[in-house]
Amino acid sequence: MNKVVLAYSGGLDTSVIVPWLRENYGCEVVAFVADVGQGAEELEGVEAKAKASGASECHIVDLKDEFAANYIYPSLKTGAVYEQSYLLGTAMARPVIAKAQVELARKVNADALAHGCTGKGNDQIRFESCYAALAPDLTVIAPWREWDLSSRESLLDYLAERNIPCSASLKKIYSRDANAWHISHEGGELEDPWCEPSDEVWTLTCAPEQAPDRPEYVKVGIEQGAVVRVNGEALSPLQCLAQLNALGAKHGIGRVDIVENRLVGMKSRGCYETPGGTIMMHALRGIDELVLDKMTRSWKTQLSEQFAQLLYDGRWFTPNQASVLAAAESLSHVATGEVVIKLYKGNVTVTQKCSPYSLYSEAFATFGADNVYDQKHAAGFIRLYSLSSRIRALKQTDNV
Amino acid sequence: MNKVVLAYSGGLDTSVIVPWLRENYGCEVVAFVADVGQGAEELEGVEAKAKASGASECHIVDLKDEFAANYIYPSLKTGAVYEQSYLLGTAMARPVIAKAQVELARKVNADALAHGCTGKGNDQIRFESCYAALAPDLTVIAPWREWDLSSRESLLDYLAERNIPCSASLKKIYSRDANAWHISHEGGELEDPWCEPSDEVWTLTCAPEQAPDRPEYVKVGIEQGAVVRVNGEALSPLQCLAQLNALGAKHGIGRVDIVENRLVGMKSRGCYETPGGTIMMHALRGIDELVLDKMTRSWKTQLSEQFAQLLYDGRWFTPNQASVLAAAESLSHVATGEVVIKLYKGNVTVTQKCSPYSLYSEAFATFGADNVYDQKHAAGFIRLYSLSSRIRALKQTDNV
Amino acid sequence: MNKVVLAYSGGLDTSVIVPWLRENYGCEVVAFVADVGQGAEELEGVEAKAKASGASECHIVDLKDEFAANYIYPSLKTGAVYEQSYLLGTAMARPVIAKAQVELARKVNADALAHGCTGKGNDQIRFESCYAALAPDLTVIAPWREWDLSSRESLLDYLAERNIPCSASLKKIYSRDANAWHISHEGGELEDPWCEPSDEVWTLTCAPEQAPDRPEYVKVGIEQGAVVRVNGEALSPLQCLAQLNALGAKHGIGRVDIVENRLVGMKSRGCYETPGGTIMMHALRGIDELVLDKMTRSWKTQLSEQFAQLLYDGRWFTPNQASVLAAAESLSHVATGEVVIKLYKGNVTVTQKCSPYSLYSEAFATFGADNVYDQKHAAGFIRLYSLSSRIRALKQTDNV
Amino acid sequence: MNKVVLAYSGGLDTSVIVPWLRENYGCEVVAFVADVGQGAEELEGVEAKAKASGASECHIVDLKDEFAANYIYPSLKTGAVYEQSYLLGTAMARPVIAKAQVELARKVNADALAHGCTGKGNDQIRFESCYAALAPDLTVIAPWREWDLSSRESLLDYLAERNIPCSASLKKIYSRDANAWHISHEGGELEDPWCEPSDEVWTLTCAPEQAPDRPEYVKVGIEQGAVVRVNGEALSPLQCLAQLNALGAKHGIGRVDIVENRLVGMKSRGCYETPGGTIMMHALRGIDELVLDKMTRSWKTQLSEQFAQLLYDGRWFTPNQASVLAAAESLSHVATGEVVIKLYKGNVTVTQKCSPYSLYSEAFATFGADNVYDQKHAAGFIRLYSLSSRIRALKQTDNV
């Protein structure tokens, strides 16, 4: 091993990994910092930190727009939600990061990739599945699965012994992962499902109880399955997300608290905040209600479940993903329209929606005469629709 | 036709149907009133009304407990939700009503069944599909698909001409259907999806804005997929529902406003209030989170979609329904536990949950050493899990 | 009604429909004959026959290549098979015919479309669903659902009374439908599922017992899910089909005898001969075996079932179809290779297969050391793969 | 480790494993031989062999009837077929073996389980997933993943050094696994998918070319999804299988040659012979054709795929399996009837079928008038069935 590119965050774990890699693999370590919208404070001084830890180079790559446009927005078109609640924020960020990490590895002629994920989580699988698809020739190093350091204290000691400065504290209650789409929280009291999350858990959104006492309405414009306007203003995907994040956070939107199944076979308790994403999901469903017929909508339910599973499980760069996405994109050709959403103390309510491709027609649905529907047709429909039940019942009577 | 049993509500439509059947089919009309929890006021004086309209008999049958225990509770075990939002309240009531109607028809030796559903809706299909399965030998009469009366005014005139008293007014904005599980609303301004429902639409639940300013917690006890206790008190299914309906209504829980696909091929806009049912769904999902492993939970997603479609579409008395339900009941063997739910201004939040069959283990999920999980195992898992991606990538490189 | 375009075959039914339409609708009748490969003898003299029946014009349109390239080949990519056996030959032909019929209607300024399908079959639904999607403004006339003629004899009498010549005989045992892909047979002794089809049923393929005593091998070349070469010769879709039909017919390939569920709610017994299509299906599956990974192949199983249902049910021109097809086409990007197939007395056996995108590797699959697979990895894989079972079992023990 | 129960076959691998376990784990080795119908010759002298290798005890357990009744027959009810071809013979045997092995371990107070599966195959996962579910407290030893012996030669040397007699030869071309249901073949020329299997591969069935020149008919009686009679004779599951195996083998039935996806992420080429099972599958499908309505049959397709995946993947003792099986068993309540099958040179053709629960009715399906179907009903059915297409088309025209 000559040179390894490490997905570096500046946190305690990756701060230890830099010297550990140098000592254990005798290789040069290039720090790779992906900016996926985790926030300015997390990026502040990260290059200096990386170099202080012993990294030969530190590359900060702004992936925010690519993340929003090529990962979040396509996923939204599929309607993917994991286990009925989780909007897949961490899962969506992994492929964009892994891809950029591999690109950097090629550029700097590295022969290995490393990450700081633990051996009990999903992220190791997500990263390494992407590596396998994009760079099967590069060696993968996952220090957490190799070393004997097993506590925060031992990591801090490791740095202290080497005089590497670190601002990390001994106690850190929650483990969090933030990006442009969401923030996740694990640890602390959350480890007991019989324990309600305390206020300290939540960092992005206001509590519903603290949210404004008056509802606010936002108008979301959608073109072919993509949110393109917020309150009439045309914006990039990332900008739309930022605006809706701010609005959602203010009104206590998008908090989720679940016990989920990790791909590694165990369950974990996680809290998530996805304010803007929650609003986007509701807006897109509002359009789906108008433009998808019954069978097509049921089909989309299958797509959503398929995509949620493969996204959660780190199978982004696979033919399976491409196929499910192609199906969803085909459906989104008519997903165009406007949706008005009411935000109030944690509630997201679609109150108005319209689409040029709407299949809804007041004339058809209501009482009056119209040219497409004759109520007498229903008699024939029902007769044939229930024919197998009728035949079954008649035959059973005959059998007796 | 000698005798027809009519599913009678006492409303304007069925009040007209009684004389219309006698005049057009020359038959005796037996009124059948199903009490599925629509409320005392709807049943008040209904027998007198039926007889005043010309019915020879009127049978009021209390189906509330059967509805809750044998239709609502089994459906809940499947997790069925139609088009991501609708909790299927009207659809669940149709089979229990149709079955009791057929039983009455057998008892009184009727040769026909009639209902007051219009020719544009789902309910005609649901009723008649049940009739086809349970009584294929009985004739079905659906006056709305036969007669020329096409306005509220013409119905009132019809009664006036025959001196049949009727308290119905000329104007009725909304069409509603209530039972122990929910109430639905259609019509009026709802016919325009670009129109927010007015306060007049909602009749059961308080608006989130009007709900108490302080959250309330409720503890729900679940045995094998059935809600059996509310705040520690053992109750029947119907009683659980009543208690949770009251709590949910108070806190603005369970309002839904959607454009849905009817089985007859058109879309309609409906508002629903299902306060207690919404709380039950969340409670059951809370237990599912604890007791179902990843693949099993994904499988249940398929069951839920299947059951939602067949329930909405009136296929209750079919082998398909029995099969999906058998699969769901198998899963619910371990769906036992306690869930604490916070109710606050429209929000339903599961805050605490536990189960003797929980697969969650703090010891497994967290950092420390344990006896079932060695982080080094993950390396092997990932390697095999991503092996096809690796092979694909390696082979593609070879191809180039 | 001024002018109606009739899907005309020259058989007894449509021969009657021409004068019946003129008499009952007072309209001009334009005969439309679709050549989808049903055979020269069926087309011979068809124009003269149409005019003798009273048609003002007769248009014979060659749709064979379009049928093969744009309907059969895309369907093949999805792997669609209806109820495990039926290769959907009649169903695939309906949309290409209906589309051309609508185009002719536009060209001749017709205001109605007619077909000769009976009221008990699937084809009426398939034709009219296509009409609904492509020409919702045109009136549809289905004489079989309107007239009182209900026997072959009455149809012949109808023509005789009008001195319209007709070569049809009074007795016709089987009802058949042929095109470039297949021929179907219904009626006669087939109406009793406890009756083996007689030799007279089959018209296209040789009986396995009569097929050559020596096997024959054919090499099929596939590019992106399309059969493009037969025994090394590059051919059009229609030509490939013709060659493989001849080979398959000679060796008794592709006979199917099933009781199937029609969309109208009843069952029917049908025999099908699809010699070339059966070979193509096996060839494509051979490539799928090489190029699709496990999860992707299971996903394709879902696509196949979806497409089979929607194709059988006449939903070709729908967004649902486009979406499923997009998913299948995405998968077929790597469906390229060569397959050798052995044909012997009804047996189709893939004996050799290769693909540049094959994920199979002798080196990986077998015993020796290799660079992608370390057997020790399996220990970790299994540990995590079965972790939820282990946890469940451990927890249950604790519970006791 | 004091005592380990080894799944012992008497072949080369497990002959080495006995002394290897004793030497490397210092434990007593109890040989467990499962008789799942692999044939008398494989069991002959197996106890003496085990003891000669150093086993302290050897238990031969006859699992044949349990295998047929509780594993094969339930799986048949689900219609499971893996990747369109493989009838899952090896996969079905693993859980019955593992369960009996665990039971023996409990009886002899063992603290570990061992098997001779290699680290590249599915069987290690299947065995160990069962162990995890049934005996999470027992240690699992998989020598193939631990030792350095990597060739047949080194295994023979290992035995020779210890003077353990062994009749195994140095060259063994094919790896085979036989039981009452099937035999599988891997290795040799099969490792090249561009190579047709030679005659030496097949051991159970006659080649179609060598099969009798005259077809033979067999009548199969089915009760609730179980084959219970062959040619009129009531037999146990195992006896039915034996009879149909003999018939199928004679007529060249049930050969399959595929490249399949192993759960460990790689592909392998396998040949399978399942003569009786293939006949049973066809017989059961024949009944399904008669008794399942359209939607139910499509639902069963999903069950089949689910069960095939979980059975192949070793998830027999899971709630997911129980749930899918419950759904399939519900459907099989009406799977009763008689099927006549023609066997001829590799072809299995259902020629006659009947069931008291048949939904097929000649009267309904054919031309004449009947009491359940009025052709005019079809007009209404089609109108509503295609309504969303019509509305879409009309709206699109309006948009233009």
Taking only the tens place, the pLDDT of each residue in A90-115 is 999 999 999 999 999 999 999 999 99
**Cα D129 to Cα C319, D99, D136, distances in angstroms:** 42, 11, 10
How far apart (Å, rounded) are the C-alpha atoms in residues C250 and C275? 9
Within 8 A of D364 by CB-CB distance, chain A residues are 391
C361 is catalytic: no
| Cβ neighbours around A151 below 10 Å, total | 11
Kindly calculate the radius of gyration of chain A based on its CA atoms and give it in whole angstroms. 25
Most D-contacting residue of B128, B293, B294, B299 (CB-CB within 10 A), to test interface: B299
Q: Do B345 and A345 touch (CB under 8 A)?
A: yes
Q: Do C326 and A324 touch (CB under 8 A)?
A: no
Helix (H, G, I), strand (E, B) or coil at C378: helix
Q: Do A372 and D392 touch (CB under 8 A)?
A: no
SS (H, E, C) chain D: CCEEEEECCCCHHHHHHHHHHHHHHCCEEEEEEEECCCCHHHHCCHHHHHHHHCCCEEEEEECHHHHHHHHHHHHHHHCCCECCCECCHHHHHHHHHHHHHHHHHHHCCCCEEECCCCCCCCHHHHHHHHHHHHCCCCEEECHHHCCCCCCHHHHHHHHHHCCCCCCCCCCCCEEEEECCCCEEEEEHHHHCCCCCCCHHHCCCCCCHHHCCCCCEEEEEEEECCEEEEECCEECCHHHHHHHHHHHHHHCCCCEEEEEEECCCCCEEEEEEECHHHHHHHHHHHHHHHHHCCHHHHHHHHHHHHHHHHHHHCCCCCCHHHHHHHHHHHHHHHHCCEEEEEEEECCEEEEEEEECCCCCCCHHHHCCCCCCCCCHHHHHHHHHHHCHHHHHHHHHHHHHC
| Cβ neighbours around C165 below 10 Å, total | 11
Q: D82-104, pLDDT tens digit by residue?
A: 999 999 999 999 999 999 999 99
**In chain C, residues 235-294 whose CB comes closer than 8 Å to chain D:** 255, 257-269, 285, 289-290, 292-294
Q: How far is A334 from chain C (nearest CA, A)?
A: 9
Helix (H, G, I), strand (E, B) or coil at B140: strand
Contact of B365 with chain D, judged by CB distance below 8 Å, is answered with no
**Cα D351 to Cα A281, C175, D204, D278, distances in angstroms:** 53, 19, 25, 15
- What are the phi and psi torsion angles at B45 (to 5°)? 70, 15
H or E element that contains A53: helix A46-53
Residues of chain C with pLDDT under 50: 400
Average pLDDT (B308-323) is 98
Residue of B249, C303, B80 lying closest to A84 (CA atoms): B80
Residue of D324, A140, A9 lying closest to B382 (CA atoms): A140
Residue type, A254: G
**In chain B, residues 52-111 whose CB comes closer than 8 Å to chain C:** none
- What pLDDT is attached to residue C400? 46
Look at residue B377 and tell me whether its pLDDT is greater than 80. yes
| Cβ neighbours around D41 below 10 Å, total | 7
How far apart (Å, rounded) are the C-alpha atoms in residues D301 and D299? 5
- What are the phi and psi torsion angles at A354 (to 5°)? -155, 155
How far apart (Å, rounded) are the C-alpha atoms in residues C131 and B145? 26
Contact predicate D342/D349, CB 8 Å: yes
Contact predicate A235/A268, CB 8 Å: no
Most B-contacting residue of D296, D305, D334 (CB-CB within 10 A), to test interface: D296
Contact predicate B92/B311, CB 8 Å: yes
Across the interface, of C379, C392, C395, the residue whose CB is closest to B377 is: C379
Residue of A259, A256, A276 lying closest to A343 (CA atoms): A276
Q: B65-112, pLDDT tens digit by residue?
A: 999 999 999 999 999 999 999 999 999 999 999 999 999 999 999 999
Q: How far is A272 from chain B (nearest CA, A)?
A: 13
Which tokens go with A218?
């936002």
Contact predicate D286/C85, CB 8 Å: no
Most A-contacting residue of D295, D309, D359, D397 (CB-CB within 10 A), to test interface: D359
- A371 to chain C: nearest residue by CA? C137
How far apart (Å, rounded) are the C-alpha atoms in residues C96 and C107? 17
Average pLDDT (B213-221) is 98
Residue ranges of the domains in chain A? Answer: 3-62+91-172, 181-354, 370-396
DSSP-derived letter for residue B195 is: S
Residues of chain A with pLDDT under 50: 400
- B397 to chain C: nearest residue by CA? C357
**In chain B, residues 162-181 whose CB comes closer than 8 Å to chain A:** none
A313 is catalytic: no
Q: Do A388 and D358 touch (CB under 8 A)?
A: no
Residue of C87, C45, C71, C118 lying closest to C204 (CA atoms): C87
For the annotated binding site of D for ATP, the residues are 7-15, 34, 116
For the annotated binding site of B for ATP, the residues are 7-15, 34, 116
Within 8 A of C376 by CB-CB distance, chain B residues are 380
Q: How far is C165 from chain A (nearest CA, A)?
A: 36
- B292 to chain A: nearest residue by CA? A261
Kindly calculate the radius of gyration of chain C based on its CA atoms and give it in whole angstroms. 25
Topology of B181-354 in CATH? Argininosuccinate synthetase, chain A, domain 2 (3.90.1260)
Which chains does chain A touch, 3 or more C-beta pairs < 8 A? B, C, D
The dihedral sign for the CA sequence A358, A363, A369, A370: negative
How far apart (Å, rounded) are the C-alpha atoms in residues D193 and C293? 16
- What pLDDT is attached to residue A370? 57
Q: How far is A108 from chain C (nearest CA, A)?
A: 24
Within 8 A of B261 by CB-CB distance, chain D residues are 388
How far apart (Å, rounded) are the C-alpha atoms in residues D19 and D87? 35
DSSP-derived letter for residue A231 is: T
- What pLDDT is attached to residue D376? 83
How far apart (Å, rounded) are the C-alpha atoms in residues D287 and D228? 14
How far apart (Å, rounded) are the C-alpha atoms in residues B22 and B30? 11
Catalytic residues of D: 13, 94, 123, 175
Contact of B335 with chain D, judged by CB distance below 8 Å, is answered with no
DSSP-derived letter for residue C228 is: E
Look at residue B397 and tell me whether its pLDDT is greater than 90. no
How far apart (Å, rounded) are the C-alpha atoms in residues D90 and D88? 6
Q: Do A352 and B269 touch (CB under 8 A)?
A: no
- What pLDDT is attached to residue A167? 85
- The residue behind tokens 């209501």 is A366
Q: Do B386 and D296 touch (CB under 8 A)?
A: no
Which tokens go with D152?
């047949």
Residues of chain D with pLDDT under 70: 364-372, 397-400
Contact predicate D83/C297, CB 8 Å: yes
Q: How far is A318 from chain C (nearest CA, A)?
A: 9
Across the interface, of C357, C364, C391, the residue whose CB is closest to B361 is: C391
How far apart (Å, rounded) are the C-alpha atoms in residues B284 and D157? 60
The strands making up D267-273's β-sheet, listed across from edge to edge, are: D174-178, D183-187, D267-273, D255-261
Q: Is the pTM of this model over 0.90?
A: yes
Instruction: Point out the catalytic residue in the list C94, C255, C269, C315.
Output: C94
Which chains does chain B touch, 3 or more C-beta pairs < 8 A? A, C, D
Q: How far is A376 from chain D (nearest CA, A)?
A: 7
For domain B3-62+91-172, the question of CATH label 3.40.50.10540 is answered with: no
Helix (H, G, I), strand (E, B) or coil at C63: coil
Residue of D77, D299, A185, D339 lying closest to B305 (CA atoms): D299
| Cβ neighbours around D257 below 10 Å, total | 23
Kindly calculate the radius of gyration of chain D based on its CA atoms and give it in whole angstroms. 25
How far apart (Å, rounded) are the C-alpha atoms in residues B153 and B163? 15
Q: How far is D287 from chain B (nearest CA, A)?
A: 15
H or E element that contains C40: helix C40-43
Contact predicate C218/C231, CB 8 Å: yes
Most A-contacting residue of D291, D298, D302, D388 (CB-CB within 10 A), to test interface: D388
C94 is catalytic: yes
| Cβ neighbours around B132 below 10 Å, total | 28
Within 8 A of D390 by CB-CB distance, chain A residues are 372
Give rounded-to-5 percent helix, strand, coil for chain B. Answer: 45, 20, 35
| Cβ-Cβ contacts under 8 Å for A50 (sequence gap 6 or more) | A8, A10, A18, A31, A33, A58
How far apart (Å, rounded) are the C-alpha atoms in residues C261 and C269? 9
SS (H, E, C) B24-40: HHCCEEEEEEEECCCCH
Q: What is the crossing angle of helices D89-107 and D123-134, to 10°? A: 40
- The residue behind tokens 């060259």 is D171
How far apart (Å, rounded) are the C-alpha atoms in residues C18 and C28? 9
Look at residue B229 and tell me whether its pLDDT is greater than 80. yes
How far apart (Å, rounded) are the C-alpha atoms in residues B242 and B227? 12
Instruction: Point out the catalytic residue in the list C22, C56, C175, C262.
Output: C175
**Cα A13 to Cα A142, B307, D284, distances in angstroms:** 11, 47, 59
Residue of C113, C83, C87, C8 lying closest to C274 (CA atoms): C87
Q: What is the crossing angle of helices D46-53 and D12-25, to 10°? A: 30
- B361 to chain C: nearest residue by CA? C391
Q: Do C347 and D352 touch (CB under 8 A)?
A: no
- What pLDDT is attached to residue D370? 57
Residue of D254, D258, D281, D261 lying closest to D271 (CA atoms): D258
How far apart (Å, rounded) are the C-alpha atoms in residues D264 and B390? 13
Helix (H, G, I), strand (E, B) or coil at B189: helix
Across the interface, of A384, A392, A399, the residue whose CB is closest to D381 is: A384
